[in-house]
């Protein structure tokens, strides 16, 4: 039980002899523990001995009764109280330092107490039952057990100010844990009450804030939170910044829900019974204001940093983490003195949202203006196409966040010839702004690709390039349920029609001359139908066909259709037109060539061989590989890939 203060004011005359005697005894106790005058007092701490605690606190209470008594005894009381306050300040600091350590970041276990109030009795027993309860949440993967002793001793029964329940509390997200053992909290409360009543409020707050802030700083270091200015953050390269953002998101949840929340609870328990108005608020802000500003300055630096497309998703991660934390921030920093922390968090959230909107707009412009003129070999998928489609696939995964952030539809300059013409009206009825932005990105990507296709000298390769890229776009949309839902089947059908149209244009550009060689026109001599085939014209026709087919085969075996299914479908489509035409042509005119001299110079390839050679197309062979395969083909049966590897 805590020593009780005597309520009667001493009478210096006559009947006050007993009180003066009590003052003398109290003064001796105070002087005995004067660290400036006694080696023993410097080496020992009062609060290590429950008996000495009781004597010393009773002595302080006794001395305080004489502070306004007047005369010589008041002077003695003032002198003694100064010595006592200096001693109690040292004891206060020692208790805090002895029990202040960073939160252990190797476990997810959190200590909690089930009792509504805890009592510490004179005999050192604890009438509250404290049980450790393991709680684990996926989003707080680095938080660890912080357990504390609940046994203690005092000089009487003290009920801790547990207005909202036990010393360690747990809500759905906030995890308040025991930072300091119950016994130490009781001792701190006893000391704080006497320092404040003696007029040493400022000293009490400064000591408490200094020691506990050091503990918070240690927890920050253990959680990987560095002291970086806004300038420091903005000078980091993106790869390093990505790692720090991931670490910050994880650590920020622990800082708000555990570190700050637990510091606030500790302040309440130490200072609620002191009597001074709002002292626990002052101590809490003295402890955490600096660390809180340090914590949120990192997110603020990201929110105002230079915008670039690769930053979007980490900014959205920060936004999601902060919006999830905002109710907890408002709960922990619900005091008037902590308005600035709540305002800073809300402003950062707003700036992150604006940064995300700005990055999306800048990304659209970057896709539209991407200037590269170097053609990709073989008409394959352009790196820009892969990048953009992977990017918007990721955007679709952030749909819940971006739907709330993207509130306006895309805008285009109708007078700018470098901007694609696209009518959104037929899509707007059932598409939100985010979906329209994704469709617009695909539109401007295709517009850019159309421009790049013009740098191919071969029209057939230009169409093959468009076909490959349009097909890739369609497949990426189909492969992402979220993206497909937002793009919608109507626009997806348009995209599918786009690559099929390009495939048709490719076949016309690449094969019309070859097929033109297999027509009958120009082979018959005038006025004769039974034997009126011009052998010389026929020979020239076969020579033209052979030369054109060889050239097409040589060139297009180096072209590339990376999608295996599309590649096979395209080959089949070519053979469906070429094989019947060549078979029919041979059937009609083979005899005319074979009845003459050197037929092998004109009929160089059978239908089966033609079909085999068509199967070589779009494999992306180099010129050397093509020559090797041609020599193998005409030397006999072409070797398989495994046979060539063995050679």
Q: Convert the pLDDT of each residue in 175-202 to its tens digit.
A: 888 899 999 999 999 999 999 999 999 9
Distances (CA, A) of 312 to 56, 251, 394: 62, 21, 10
User: Is residue 170 classed as helix, strand or coil in its secondary structure?
Assistant: strand
Mean pLDDT confidence for 386-408:
94
Q: Are strands 158-159 and 132-134 parallel, antiparallel or unpaired?
A: unpaired
* Residue-wise pLDDT tens digits, 112-160: 333 233 333 333 334 443 333 333 333 333 332 332 333 333 333 333 3
CA geometry: angle 474, 480, 481, nearest 5 deg? 115
pTM of the complete model beyond 0.85 = no
Distances (CA, A) of 249 to 54, 223, 321: 47, 11, 6
What one-character DSSP code corresponds to residue 374?
P
| Residue 629, C-beta contacts closer than 8 angstroms, at least 6 positions apart | 557, 616, 621, 638
Distance CA 309, CA 179 (A): 43
Identify which of 522, 514, 533 has the alpha carbon closest to the alpha carbon of residue 581: 514
Distance CA 235, CA 526 (A): 84
Distance CA 250, CA 262 (A): 17
Mean pLDDT confidence for 380-394:
96
Chain centroid to Cα 81, Å, comes to 56
CB 264 within 8 A of CB 291: no
pLDDT at 390 over 90: yes
Distance CA 615, CA 631 (A): 16
Distance CA 234, CA 564 (A): 45
| Cα within 13 Å of Cα(527), Cβ side | 0
Residue corresponding to tokens 């000591």: 207
| Residue 640, C-beta contacts closer than 8 angstroms, at least 6 positions apart | none
pLDDT over 70, % of the chain: 80
Radius of gyration for the alpha carbons in the chain, expressed in angstroms and rounded: 43
Position 624 confidence tier, pLDDT thresholds 50, 70, 90: low
- Check residue 428 and give its pLDDT: 59
* Mean pLDDT of all residues belonging to the chain: 82
* Residue-wise pLDDT tens digits, 565-575: 999 999 999 99
If residue 111 lies in a helix (H) or strand (E), which one and from where to where?
strand 109-111
Position 546 confidence tier, pLDDT thresholds 50, 70, 90: very high
What b/e sequence results for 194-219 when a residue is b if at least 16 CB atoms lie within 10 Å of its CB, and e otherwise? Answer: bbbbbebbebbbebbbebbbebbbeb
Distance CA 245, CA 605 (A): 64
Distance CA 362, CA 356 (A): 10
Distance CA 290, CA 562 (A): 56
- Check residue 105 and give its pLDDT: 53
End-to-end CA distance of the chain: give it in Å, rounded. 95
| Cα within 13 Å of Cα(391), Cβ side | 23
Distance CA 613, CA 520 (A): 24
pLDDT at 380 over 70: yes
Mean pLDDT confidence for 358-378:
92
pLDDT at 580 over 50: yes
- Check residue 21 and give its pLDDT: 80
Q: Could you give the residue ranges of the DSSP H alpha helices within 370-480?
A: 383-397, 399-405, 425-428, 433-453, 459-478
* Residue-wise pLDDT tens digits, 464-498: 999 999 999 999 999 999 999 999 998 999 999 99
């Amino acid at each position: 039980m805590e020593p009780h203060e005597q309520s009667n004011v001493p009478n210096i005359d006559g009947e006050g002899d007993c009180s003066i005697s009590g003052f003398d005894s109290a003064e001796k106790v105070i002087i005995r523990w004067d660290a400036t005058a006694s080696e023993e007092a410097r080496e020992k701490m009062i609060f290590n001995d429950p008996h000495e605690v009781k004597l010393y606190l009773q002595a302080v209470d006794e001395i305080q009764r004489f502070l306004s008594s007047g005369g010589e005894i008041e002077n003695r009381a003032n002198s003694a109280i100064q010595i006592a306050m200096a001693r109690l300040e040292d004891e206060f600091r020692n208790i805090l330092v002895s029990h202040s350590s960073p939160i252990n970041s190797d476990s997810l276990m959190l200590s909690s107490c089930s009792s509504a109030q805890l009592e510490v009795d004179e005999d050192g027993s604890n009438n509250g039952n404290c049980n450790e309860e393991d709680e684990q949440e996926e989003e707080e993967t680095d938080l660890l057990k912080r357990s504390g002793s609940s046994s203690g001793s005092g000089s009487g029964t003290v009920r801790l100010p547990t207005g909202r329940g036990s010393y360690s509390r747990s809500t759905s997200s906030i995890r308040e844990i025991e930072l300091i053992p119950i016994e130490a909290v009781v001792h701190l409360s006893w000391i704080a009450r006497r320092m404040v009543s003696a007029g040493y409020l400022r000293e009490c707050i400064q000591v408490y804030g200094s020691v506990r802030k050091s503990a918070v700083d240690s927890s920050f270091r253990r959680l990987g939170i560095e002291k970086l200015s806004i300038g420091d953050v903005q000078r980091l390269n993106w790869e390093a910044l990505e790692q720090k953002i991931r670490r910050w998101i994880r650590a920020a949840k622990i800082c708000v829900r555990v570190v700050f929340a637990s510091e606030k609870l500790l302040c309440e328990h130490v200072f609620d019974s002191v009597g001074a108005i709002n002292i626990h608020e002052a101590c809490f802000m003295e402890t955490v204001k600096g660390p809180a500003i340090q914590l949120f300055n990192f997110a603020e630096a990201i929110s105002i940093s230079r915008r670039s497309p690769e930053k979007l998703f980490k900014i959205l991660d920060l936004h999601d983490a902060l919006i999830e934390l905002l109710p907890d921030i408002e709960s922990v920093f619900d005091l008037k003195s902590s308005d600035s922390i709540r305002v800073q968090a809300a402003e950062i959230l707003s700036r992150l949202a604006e940064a995300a909107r700005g990055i999306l707009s800048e990304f659209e412009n970057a896709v539209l203006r991407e200037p590269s003129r170097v053609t990709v070999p073989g008409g394959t998928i352009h790196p820009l196409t892969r990048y953009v489609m992977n990017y918007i696939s990721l955007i679709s995964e952030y749909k819940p966040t971006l739907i709330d952030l993207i509130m306006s539809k895309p805008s285009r300059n109708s007078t700018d010839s470098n901007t694609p013409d696209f009518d959104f009206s037929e899509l707007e009825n059932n598409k939100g702004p985010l979906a329209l932005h994704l469709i617009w990105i695909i539109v401007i990507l295709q517009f850019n690709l159309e421009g790049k296709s013009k740098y191919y000298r071969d029209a057939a390769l230009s169409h093959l390039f468009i076909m490959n890229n349009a097909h890739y776009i369609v497949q990426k949309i189909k492969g992402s349920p979220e993206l497909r839902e937002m793009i919608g089947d109507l626009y997806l059908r348009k995209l599918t029609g786009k690559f099929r149209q390009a495939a048709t244009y490719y076949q016309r550009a690449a094969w019309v001359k070859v097929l033109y060689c297999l027509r009958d026109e120009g082979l018959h001599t005038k006025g004769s139908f039974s034997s009126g085939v011009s052998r010389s014209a026929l020979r020239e026709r076969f020579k033209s066909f052979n030369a054109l087919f060889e050239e097409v085969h040589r060139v297009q075996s180096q072209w590339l259709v990376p999608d295996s299914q599309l590649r096979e479908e395209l080959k089949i489509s070519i053979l469906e037109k070429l094989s019947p035409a060549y078979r029919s042509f041979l059937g009609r005119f083979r005899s005319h060539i074979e009845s003459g001299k050197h037929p092998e110079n004109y009929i160089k390839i059978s239908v089966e061989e033609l079909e085999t050679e068509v199967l070589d197309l779009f494999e992306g062979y180099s010129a050397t590989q093509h020559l090797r395969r041609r020599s193998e083909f005409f030397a006999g049966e072409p070797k398989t890939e495994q046979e060539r590897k063995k050679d």
